[in-house]
Amino acid sequence: VPTGRKNTARRIVSVRPLIVAALCAVSATVFAKPEVLIIQRLSKDKDALNVPIGQKLAEQIDLDGRVSPILWSMTDPVFRAYVEEKKLPPFVANPDQKAIRNVASLLRVAYVLVVEAVSTNNVVRPQANLYDGTMRRTLWSMVRDEKRGPPRLVVAKDGKVDEEATTALREKYAEILADGTLATMTVLVKGEPD
């Protein structure tokens, strides 16, 4: 074999592992599910009881299978590994918006879900806000807080309440009491109404 052809053959053989590795990396990223960072905010009100819902919510989202949840908790193996490897700041149990935005940026998640469930006088007030991964846009919001007026279920687009979509959502899925309180709401669980 002439020298020129032998070197070309070596180059082709040595390039093959690189091509295989690149294809594996591309296929892994193409088929990876988007990630959602789930944070359960804790009330600072001494008379309120925080109802732990973060773990169960992460489990349900994982079972649904459309996104991969990462729970803001040292019990979550992914989150804990990032903190222990110092890829994230030290753990804070009740983070503020700035801390959440920083961690979401470092993790490069597609979504951020901030939830709260507080029980006072035997009434649980759930709240949830779904943001894009940068936390610059609110994608969905459900707020139930006396300080913000009557409980409400709203649809937000580009950070603003879409009144028309909100009305349509309430008429189709929710039962609202005379005082404006959200009594029940139909949600889809694995594509089925619940």
Render pLDDT for 1-38 as a digit per residue (tens, 0 to 9). Answer: 455 555 544 544 455 665 555 555 555 555 578 999 99
Cα–Cα distance measured from residue 96 to residue 124, given in angstroms and rounded to the nearest whole number: 22
pLDDT band at 193 (very low <50, low <70, confident <90, very high): low
- And the tokens for 156? 């937000």
Cα–Cα distance measured from residue 183 to residue 117, given in angstroms and rounded to the nearest whole number: 16
